[in-house]
Each structure stands twice: as C-alpha cells, then as structure tokens.
C-alpha cells in the first residue's frame, strides 16, 4: 500500500500575525514556517503504519502545493521519515486550486490512502481533503481519529458529535484527520536529517486551473475591553453580572 | 435564482444551529432579493420540517429516503448539488459542523462554486461577493471574495443567532435516483453519549486545566456544569495526561467552540488554547495567578483557588435558582 500525506506549510502557531500593503497581504517577514500540526500527526501515523510489519505499507510520500520556500518544510517531513516528497510548483491560491493540483498528480500516480488535515492553521479553509476526494471521485472520510490496517483490511474510527463511529472502507480513499490520529508528532532524528538530504524531492509543474476565491483584506480582532475582576469571596456578584450585564445565564 | 440551505437532522430532529442556519439564509435571500429553499435529507417528520418555517423557510425540499438516514458525505453532496441546480441556487449555505465540513467542499468541486468555510456574518458586499471569516486560528479575520457565479458557504456556530420569521411552509418531495455506488463506506459500530451535554452544541461550557492539579479534583467542575446545564471541557495537557477524555480537549488542536459562556478554571490561556475558545460570547477566568494570560481574553475574572471558587460559584447559582 502507498500512503500520500498532504502537507500544508504554515506559520509557527505562536506567530504574531501582521499584515502589509494596506492589510491586503500576510506579512511573512521573520515568520518561522512549520508543517501544519495536523499534517505532522498524519505523517506520524503513516510512519507507524509502515513500521508495523503486520501490514503492507511500502511507501509514504508527502505532497505540497506551493513555492520553493516550502522546501525546508518538505525536508523536515523527509527527516521525520517520508520516503519521498513532491512539490507542485504553484501558488496555493485557494483550496479548489490546491486540491485540483493534487488530484492531477494522483491521476498519474495513484495512492491507496490519502491523508489530509482537518484544517490549515493559517487560512482555516478546512476543505482541501474533501475536495481531493471529490475531484477523484473517492470516498472521503471526515473527522478521522484513527486509521488501522490489518493486511488490506482498513478500519477507521471517526468522531461524531458526542460519540464515535467505527467504519470499514476500501482503498483508495481520502481520510481527513483530526485529534487522536497520533499522540505526539515525531521529531526527526539526527540520522533522519542526514538521510533526508538524499531522499527525492520532486518538483512538478502546475496544471492550468481556476482560482475561485481570493483573500482581499485582513483585519485584527477588536481589542477586548478590560477584564472585570471580581473578589474571590463574591461568587454572587459574578452570577448577578452574568445574568444582568452579560446576559448569558 | 435562489439561495438554498441544507438543514441536517440528527435522528430526525433539527437543532438550534439548524434554525440559525435558516435564519441566516433567509436574511441572505432578502439581501439578494430572492427566495430561499431549505433542503432536508433523510426521514424527518412533517411536524419537524414545519419548524423550519418559524425562521423564514417557505419552501422545503425533502429527500425522505430511509437509505439516507445516516450521512454519507458523497451521496449527500450529490443530492445537495442536484437540488441546488434544480432551484438555480446562486448561493448554497450549510452549517459549519462535521457534516457541513465534509459536504460543502465536495459540492464546491461538483458545481465549481467558490467555497468559504466558517463565515462569521452576512456578506460584506454582494458585488463583488465578499464574506468575512476567522483566519490564523482566531488571530485575525479575512475578507474573502468569491469570484465564481455559484457560491457555497458554511456558517460558524453562534455567528448570527435565531431570528423568528414565521412563514407557511410548502413541503415538497425532491425525487431523484440514489446512486448506490456512493455507499462504499460501511459503519460497523457506533457509540453515542446520551446523558451528557454535547460539547460542540453547548451554550455553556465549564472547562478546566492543569490548575486542578489531579484528576481526582474534578468534582467541583462537574457540579458547576450540572447546575448550569453545561458541557465540560479541558485544556490539552489535561487530556494528554489522560485526566479527561480526548473529546473534551478544546483549542487549536482540539475542538473549536463558540458557546455563550465559557468558564476557564485553572487554565493559563496559552495562545493555542485561546484559538479554540476566542469566539465565545463571554469568558470567565478563575486562576490563582493574576498575571495569567487568560485574563487578557476574559470578560470576568476571579483571582483565587479553583477548589475554593468553583464550589462557591455552584452554591451561588443554586441559590439564585431557588
Ligand atoms: C502546536 C501546539 C498546539 C497546542 N494546542 C493546544 C490546544 O488545542 N489546547 C490547549 O489547551 N493547549 C494546546 N497547546 C498547549 C498550550 O501551549 C499550553 O501548554 C496549554 O494550553 C496549557 O494548559 P493549562 O492552561 O491547563 O496548563 P498550565 O499552562 O500549566 O496552566 C495552569 C494554570 O492554572 C493556574 N493554577 C494553578 N493552580 C491553581 C489553582 N489551585 N487554582 C486556580 N488556578 C490555578 C496557574 O496559575 C496556571 O495559569 C498546544 C501547544 C502546541 C505547541
Ligand atoms: N498547499 C497545500 N499543499 C498540500 N496540502 C495542503 C495544502 N493546503 C492544505 N493542504 C492539506 O489540506 C488540509 C486542510 O487544509 P485547508 O483546507 O487549507 O484548511 C491540510 O491539513 C493539508 O493536509
């Protein structure tokens, strides 16, 4: 089995966001880029599946749609353990465009399992995975909390509001993964980093595809008013404020 | 032309978030000067469908095939796209919940309709069509232009509220062939918690962090949640340590929630935690450290020990109820 993990390249989660050119563009000066946390966990799970000799995962490839500035992020994915990285050389303009590019790649290079994260921590589009499934006409499974293999038997757990489901599906399929898929993201070892240098990072040209949406402006949230402090002995006063001032009780 | 909303049901029942969706879509239809259609998939009693009329729906299309009682995103997306085409919908609106997140992107591809997830309010402008959404995990808002003729939105929970707008509803069966090829995923087991308030639906959430010090100390949290009819939640280290179940973890890597009231007990307020709760209407923080960052996002704060403050608060609420 071959697993493809979609990687989004995002600013570190502690980045203080700033905008430029009249608030129309994200200001990436000084930003540290990382593998989107969900994708890092997806890759970690893919590695675990490959290492488990009981099943037949023989290749893990990571794919990213974006410019050369993401190569460092892809190298990190290779250092974590992916066998191969592919970068489709296009500006990741919107989810439709990104998913369309990945689908084109999949048509030429089929995979059994495609993993994507529930959302990118930058634009929070939460769309790419399900869009790939639709472009390919594959089953897509959302809210996936675990993927288990027993030979070619695929079992998936997914979260539903207030509960969980266990599913069986046939390959190929797309799983959109969230919390639970792996516990801790794997950190590259020294050996992994050395080996990553020799692993293939293929750059593919993009195909012609429409862009349906565009971010035109950004704004920062309004500053919160000062927090009203209440004495720890005066729980009644808080109840009163929640009822009559905030009107949330 | 029209706008269409997909009203998901849970075991044949709608939730407040469904009615919020209908309220939003009605307002959008008014803005666009067109009519609104609501689509329901799976078996829902007529009485329940009529409730959609309380929020402005005058036409409901229903696909009451029992085969569709469980959601399959592929089949549902197919139906939503077909229904949208049949009423020549310009805008398709879904709730930004698990099912909306699974269906909307598929419909977007089918119809080449530009998609924006978790929209916060009515469009900022109609021509060009621009919507506002939260980006960078709550650290900013983006104004997104949809350039395609057809557009598809999911709307964030609690972004619009319920707007009563009683209408007479015409309920019509939307007939179509269901492609059984679209049911390749088989559910083999399902568990649902029945007794507790579901976190993603809850209006009030009582959440606790490492400041509780040990899993044995959770009783005051649960008691407070009980008087408030609230769901319980926790910070990531608490679920990582196994003190509480993973389904309670909120934040950037857990659930993103938007209740009316969020009470954070013994939570420091790290940026990744706040990413999951910043859209709450009102935040109350209880923490021994007056410098804890949670106070900078909270509306009300108490500096004090959780083991002391939580029982006091529970008592005050009980008293105010009786
Ligand atoms: C990539 C990434 C993703 C992350 N995602 C998330 C996420 O989704 N959700 C999340 O929550 N975290 C997340 N984190 C972790 C986050 O950075 C914090 O470490 C975490 O939120 C801290 O949890 P806490 O507030 O419970 O614990 P602490 O930071 O240890 O805070 C405990 C607080 O309790 C107070 N306290 C102690 N004793 C008492 C007492 N007796 N009474 C009252 N107050 C008391 C302390 O003053 C302190 O403020 C993420 C981190 C990373 C790097
Ligand atoms: N530019 C990209 N290249 C490859 N995969 C991506 C890209 N953007 C998003 N993804 C994948 O899609 C998931 C959801 O992203 P989004 O739809 O942008 O919120 C991410 O977790 C990635 O797995």
Distance B59 CA to ligand 2 centre (A): 37
Which candidate, A155, A144, A116, A92, places its Cα nearest to that of A36? A116
pLDDT at B183 over 90: no
> Over 90: is that where the pLDDT of A163 sits?
no
The percent of residues in chain B predicted with pLDDT above 70, rounded, is: 100
The token pair at B105 is 């992107």
The residue among B17, B185, B307 with the most chain A CBs within 10 A of its CB, best to mutate, is B185
Give the torsion sign (CA, B284, B288, B294, B297): positive
Asked if B282 reaches chain A (Cβ–Cβ under 8 Å), the answer is yes
Q: Judge contact between B228 and B271, C-beta under 8 A.
A: no
Does the ipTM exceed 0.90?
Answer: yes
Instruction: Please state, in angstroms and rounded to a whole number, the distance separating the CA atoms of residues A122 and A36.
Output: 9
Q: Which of A17, A155, A227 sits opposite B299 (nearest CB)?
A: A227
Average pLDDT, stretch A225-237? Answer: 95
- The number of the ligand nearest the C-alpha atom of A116 reads 2
Atom of ligand 1 nearest to the CA of B235: 11
pLDDT band at B203 (very low <50, low <70, confident <90, very high): very high
Q: Which two tokens stand for residue B119?
A: 């929209």
Chain B residues with CB inside 8 Å of A127's CB? 104-105, 108, 115, 117
Q: Does A58 touch chain B (CB under 8 A)?
A: no
Would you state the structure tokens that stand for residue A218, as one six-digit string? 């950004």
Q: How far apart are CA B251 and CA A40, in angstroms?
A: 17
Q: What share of chain B is helix, strand, coil (3-state, %, to 5)?
A: 35, 30, 35
For residue A138, what pLDDT is reported?
Answer: 95
pLDDT for res B196: 82
pLDDT in tens, A26-71: 999 999 999 999 999 999 999 999 998 777 899 999 999 999 999 9
Instruction: Mean pLDDT check: name the lowest of B92-96, B182-186, B223-227, B285-289.
Output: B182-186
The answer on pLDDT for B193 being more than 80 is no
Half-sphere exposure of A186 (CA within 13 A, CB side): 22
- Contacts (Cβ under 8 Å, ≥6 apart) of B248: B199, B207, B232, B233, B234, B238, B239
Contact of A111 with chain B, judged by CB distance below 8 Å, is answered with no
Q: How many CB atoms lie within 10 A of CB B316?
A: 18
Q: Helices A128-136 and B73-86 meet at what angle, rounded to 10?
A: 80
Please report which ligand is nearest the Cα atom of A185.
1
The domain spans of chain A are 2-221
Candidate from A99, A141, A238 with C-beta closest to B300: A238
Q: Whole-prediction pTM value?
A: 0.95
Collapsing DSSP states into helix, strand and coil, what is residue B176?
A: coil
Q: Quote the pLDDT of residue B281.
A: 93
Query: Which residues lie across from A191 on neighbouring strands?
Result: none
Site to probe by mutation for ligand 1, drawn from B238, B251, B312, B313 as the one with most ligand atoms within 8 Å of Cβ, is B251
Check if B244 has its Cβ closer than 6 Å to any atom of ligand 1: no
* pLDDT at residue B270 tops 90: yes
Count of H-run helices and E-run strands, chain B: 8, 16
> Which chain A residue shows the shortest CA-CA distance from B229?
A249
What is the spatial distance between Cα B177 and Cα B185, in angstroms, rounded to a whole number?
19
Q: Are the CB atoms for B91 and B28 separated by under 8 Å?
A: yes
pLDDT value, residue A55 = 79
- Cα–ligand 1 centroid distance for B277 (angstroms): 13
Q: Is the CB of A87 under 6 A from ligand 2?
A: no
Whose CA is closest to atom 14 on ligand 2?
A: A119
The H helix count followed by the E strand count for chain A is 6, 15
Q: A196: distance to nearest CA of chain B, Å?
A: 27
Q: Across chain A, what does the average pLDDT equal?
A: 95
Report the C-alpha gap between B80 and B82 in whole angstroms: 6
Q: Could you tell me the domains of chain B?
A: 2-182 (3.40.50.620), 199-321 (3.40.50.1220)
Whether residue A127 lies within 8 A of chain B, CB to CB, comes out as yes
Q: Which of B263, B272, B277, B290 to mutate to test the pocket of ligand 1 (most atoms within 8 A of CB)?
A: B272
∠ CA B143-B146-B152 to the nearest 5 degrees? 105
Among candidates A129, A219, A227 on the partner chain, residue whose Cβ is nearest the Cβ of B295: A227
pLDDT of A225 > 90? The answer is no
Q: What is the reported pLDDT for B321?
A: 84
In whole angstroms, what separates CA B259 from the centre of its chain? Answer: 9
Give the contacts of B256 (CB within 8 A, at least 6 positions apart): B138, B250, B275, B276, B277, B279
Q: Residue A172, preceding bond cis, omega within 30 degrees?
A: yes
- Enumerate residues 6+ apart whose C-beta is below 8 A from B22: B5, B7, B36, B38, B52, B55, B56, B57
Domain A2-221 has CATH 3.30.460.10: no
User: Ligand 1 centroid to A185 CA: how many Å?
Assistant: 19
Answer yes or no: are the C-beta atoms of B234 and B215 closer than 8 Å.
no
CA distances for A123 relative to A79, B93, B209, angstroms: 26, 20, 28
Neighbouring C-beta atoms of residue B195, cutoff 10 Å: 5
CB B220 within 8 A of CB B306: yes
Write out pLDDT tens, residues A178-212. Answer: 989 998 999 999 999 999 999 999 999 999 999 99
């Amino acid at each position: 089995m071959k697993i493809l993990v979609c990687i989004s390249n995002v600013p570190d989660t502690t980045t203080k966001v700033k905008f430029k050119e009249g608030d129309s563009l994200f200001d990436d000066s000084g930003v540290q880029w990382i593998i989107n946390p969900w994708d890092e966990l997806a890759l970690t799970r893919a590695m675990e599946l490959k290492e488990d000799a009981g099943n037949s995962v023989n290749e893990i490839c990571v794919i990213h749609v974006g410019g050369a500035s993401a190569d460092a992020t892809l190298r990190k994915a290779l250092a974590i353990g992916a066998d191969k990285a592919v970068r489709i050389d296009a500006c990741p303009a919107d989810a439709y465009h990104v998913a369309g590019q990945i689908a084109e790649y999949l048509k030429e290079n089929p995979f059994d399992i495609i993993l994507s994260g529930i959302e990118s921590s930058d634009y929070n589009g939460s769309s790419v995975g399900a869009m790939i499934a639709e472009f390919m006409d594959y089953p897509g499974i959302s809210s996936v909390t675990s993927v288990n293999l027993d030979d070619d038997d695929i079992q998936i757990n997914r979260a539903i509001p207030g509960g969980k489901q266990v599913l069986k599906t046939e390959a190929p399929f797309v799983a959109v993964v969230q919390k639970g898929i792996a516990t801790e993201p794997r950190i590259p070892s020294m050996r992994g980093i050395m080996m990553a240098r020799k692993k293939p990072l293929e750059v593919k040209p993009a195909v012609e595809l429409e862009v349906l949406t565009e971010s035109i402006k950004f704004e920062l949230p309004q500053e919160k008013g000062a927090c009203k402090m209440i004495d720890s002995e005066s729980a009644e006063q808080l109840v009163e404020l929640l009822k009559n001032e905030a009107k949330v009780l | 032309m029209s706008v269409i909303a997909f009203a998901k049901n849970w075991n044949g029942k709608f939730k407040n978030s469904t009615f919020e969706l209908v309220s939003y879509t009605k307002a959008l239809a008014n803005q666009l000067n067109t009519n609104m259609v609501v689509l329901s998939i799976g078996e829902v009693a007529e009485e329940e469908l009529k409730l959609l009329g309380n929020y402005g729906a005058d036409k409901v299309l229903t696909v009451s095939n029992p085969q569709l009682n469980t959601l399959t995103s592929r089949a549902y997306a197919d139906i939503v796209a077909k229904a949208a085409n049949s009423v020549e919908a310009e805008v398709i609106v879904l709730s930004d919940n698990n099912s909306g997140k699974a269906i909307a992107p598929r419909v977007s591809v089918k119809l080449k309709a530009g998609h924006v997830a978790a929209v916060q309010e009515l469009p900022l402008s109609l021509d060009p069509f621009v919507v506002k959404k939260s980006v960078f995990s709550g650290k900013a808002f983006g104004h997104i232009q949809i350039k395609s003729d057809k557009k598809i939105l999911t709307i964030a929970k609690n972004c619009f509220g319920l707007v009563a707008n009683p209408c007479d509803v015409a309920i019509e069966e939307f007939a179509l062939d269901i492609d059984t090829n679209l049911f390749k995923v088989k559910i083999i087991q399902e568990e649902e918690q029945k007794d507790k308030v579901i976190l993603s639906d809850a209006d009030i959430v009582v959440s606790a962090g490492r400041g509780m010090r040990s899993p044995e100390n959770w009783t005051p949290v649960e008691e407070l949640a009980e008087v408030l009819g609230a769901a319980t939640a926790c910070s990531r280290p608490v679920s990582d340590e196994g003190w509480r179940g993973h389904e309670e973890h909120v934040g950037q890597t857990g659930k993103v929630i938007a209740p009316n009231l969020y009470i954070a007990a013994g939570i420091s307020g790290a940026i990744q935690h706040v990413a999951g709760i910043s859209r709450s209407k009102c935040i109350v923080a209880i923490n021994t450290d007056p410098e804890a960052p949670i106070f900078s996002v909270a509306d009300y704060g108490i500096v004090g020990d959780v083991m002391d403050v939580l029982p006091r608060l529970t008592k005050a609420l009980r008293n105010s109820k009786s």
